Amino acid sequence: MLTAWDALSASLVEDAGADVVLVGDSLAMVSLGHSTTLPVTLEQMLLHTQAVCRGLSQPLAKQPLVITDLPFLSYQCGLDRAVAAAGTLIKQSDAAGVKLEGAEPEVLAVIERLVRTGIPVMGHLGLLPQAVHSLGYRRQAKDPRSQERLLQQASELESAGCFAMVLEHVPAELAGQVRRRLSIPVIGIGAGDDCDGQVSVTADLLGLTRSQPPFSQARMDGRGLAVKALSNWLEDQRQPSAPPTTPPTPPEPHC
């Protein structure tokens, strides 16, 4: 699973062969310049999800599965508002499901309601970017008590109807325990290799961001290559142009 935030990035991950495309609220940082995911709105998530879907070229049945994030405060303020937010993303784009964070009782109630409504839901445990002010960007579930709590929450997400789950920045051994306990796919990010699948932010893999998360190594210096190419073009344009050469006058014909 790879992320996309517009038509261009969607075409790249589709051509690369991704099974799932996640329109993550990470686009708040990658594309919109925010320092966290919190400011992105439902309207912006819809706009970017529509752009991602337009960037996929294969027939709908052959495209990667498109999942979109429910942004902060779109599902924490009551069941009806959550259904309306998720329904907006699903109804007005080609996304096949939504992803939301956490497993508190209120979130579980939202998941159950969405699933009953016919909206597929992907869960998300471990490091929760929407809870950055309380959890930070630190590795989660490092002690036995928090690990047991995460295992219980994972089971609750499955029971609530999630079809898959993202597990972010937790110990690899714990991720393996979650995978073996659940029957739904567990997709890791910074959670080791003992998962059913992996997800990464495409901009991080391509080396486009100024800084890398500790669990995502760039596969190329995309930023450096792009800056160099653009700098070379700008330098070429700033060179003084040579005066146009006057073509030689052809000799007069002899009679």
Task: Tell me the pLDDT tens digit for each residue of 121-161.
Answer: 999 999 999 999 999 989 999 999 999 999 999 999 999 99
Residue 254: its pLDDT value, please? 66
**Separation between Cα atoms, residue 20 and residue 13, nearest integer Å:** 9
**Separation between Cα atoms, residue 42 and residue 71, nearest integer Å:** 6
Amino acid sitting at position 11: S
Say which residue the tokens 């599965």 belong to.
65
> Binning pLDDT at 50, 70 and 90, where does residue 242 land?
low
Both structure tokens of 208: 């486009």
- Is the pLDDT higher at 91 or at 60? 91
Query: What average pLDDT does range 165-172 have in this prediction?
Result: 97
Provide the whole-model pTM: 0.91
> Binning pLDDT at 50, 70 and 90, where does residue 216 land?
confident
**Separation between Cα atoms, residue 164 and residue 69, nearest integer Å:** 14
**Residue 96: how many CB atoms within 10 A of its CB?**
18
Helices of type H across the chain:
7-16, 27-30, 42-55, 79-91, 105-117, 132-135, 144-160, 172-181, 202-205, 222-238
Nearest Cα to Cα of residue 204 among 192, 189, 194: 189
Both structure tokens of 44: 């912006």
**Separation between Cα atoms, residue 47 and residue 163, nearest integer Å:** 25
Q: Out of 168, 173, 235, 252, which one is annotated catalytic? A: 168
Does the active-site annotation cover 168? yes
pLDDT tens-digit map of 172-205 = 999 999 999 999 999 999 999 999 999 999 999 9
Cβ–Cβ < 8 Å for 26, 71: no
Residue 255: its pLDDT value, please? 57
**Separation between Cα atoms, residue 94 and residue 31, nearest integer Å:** 21
**Separation between Cα atoms, residue 181 and residue 154, nearest integer Å:** 9
DSSP, res 129: G
Q: Residue 61: which residues within 8 A CB-CB, separation 6 or more?
A: none
The partner residues of 126 in beta bridges, in order of sequence, read: 168
CATH homologous superfamily for 2-236? Phosphoenolpyruvate-binding domains (3.20.20.60)
| Cα atoms in the 13 Å half-sphere on the side-chain side of 170 | 32
Is the pLDDT at 26 greater than 70? The verdict is yes
